[in-house]
Amino acid sequence: MSEDMLKVVVFGALNAGKTTFVEKLSGQKLFLKGEFESITTSFDFVQMKQGNFLIHLFASPGHRRFSFMWDTLATGMDGAILLIDSTVGITPVDHELIKFILNYDVPYVIAVNKNDICSLKPMNIRKELDISDEIPVINTSAIINQNLVNVLDNLIRTITEKI
Ligand SMILES: Nc1nc2c(ncn2[C@@H]2O[C@H](COP(=O)(O)OP(=O)(O)OP(=O)(O)O)[C@@H](O)[C@H]2O)c(=O)[nH]1
Ligand SMILES: [Mg+2]
């Protein structure tokens, strides 16, 4: 890892809000928005400054058909964000993605997204996903930019504590 550059990848089920999350968090037009008819078919990419860090922020495709991209995107990542869709709840793909991220042995944060229409209790999400107390679980709304910077700051804190 170069001194002040961090690679962060957003994962999550189809339609959870990953593309919206990186758009709103960065506040920029994405360098790459890899979609067809509003479904991500490759990946999204944007760079943003946060504190002393230059963040290389990627969002993965949620559609199962494109899950072969996950490993490519995860290569060299410093941390991950797993987006849960509050309107759907925990799905098998979320369990799969937790295992996937754990395999890479990097810090991660859970964002329980679409909090503007449906609010799930972080405690219940933690129980359902069977994750330890140190993993931050944060309610977010990508669409109204609620808690997005908070998610990134929590992730950066965990990454820098680990380094
Ligand atoms: N109400 C609400 N809608 C959201 C939120 N985040 C995203 N959406 C909506 O959910 C839909 C899917 O958003 P995307 O950002 O494309 O989701 P995605 O996870 O990137 O989708 P794939 O990459 O195809 O898996 C869009 O209609 C968004 O406007 C949110 O926090 N609240
Ligand atoms: Mg997308």
3-state secondary structure of 102: helix
4-162: CATH topology is Rossmann fold (3.40.50)
The mean per-residue pLDDT over the stretch 115-128 comes to: 96
User: What atom of ligand 1 comes closest to residue 83's alpha carbon?
Assistant: 19
C-alpha 19 to ligand 1 mean position (Å): 7
The mean per-residue pLDDT over the stretch 80-102 comes to: 97
Q: Domain residues of the chain, as ranges?
A: 4-162
Determine the pLDDT at residue 2. Answer: 47
Determine the pLDDT at residue 162. Answer: 77
Does the pLDDT at position 95 exceed 50?
A: yes
C-alpha 14 to ligand 1 mean position (Å): 9
What tokens appear for 56 in the block? 């290389």
DSSP state of 4: T
Query: What pLDDT, in 10s, does the model give residues 35-44?
Result: 999 999 999 9
d(Cα 56, Cα 145) in Å, to the nearest integer? 19
Which of 20, 46, 93 maximizes ligand 1 atoms within 8 Å of its Cβ, making it the mutation to test the pocket? 20
Q: Residue 37 carries which side chain, given as an amino acid letter?
A: E
The mean per-residue pLDDT over the stretch 98-118 comes to: 97
Average pLDDT, the chain: 96
Q: Which residues line ligand 1 (CB under 6 A)?
A: 12, 14-20, 38-40, 59, 61-63, 113-114, 116-117, 141-143
Question: How far does Cα 27 stand from its chain's mean position?
Answer: 16
Residue with the smallest CA separation from ligand 1 atom 23 is 40
Which of 9, 14, 15, 85 maximizes ligand 1 atoms within 8 Å of its Cβ, making it the mutation to test the pocket? 15
Percent of the chain with pLDDT over 70: 98
Residue with the smallest CA separation from ligand 1 atom 12 is 15
Determine the pLDDT at residue 47. Answer: 98
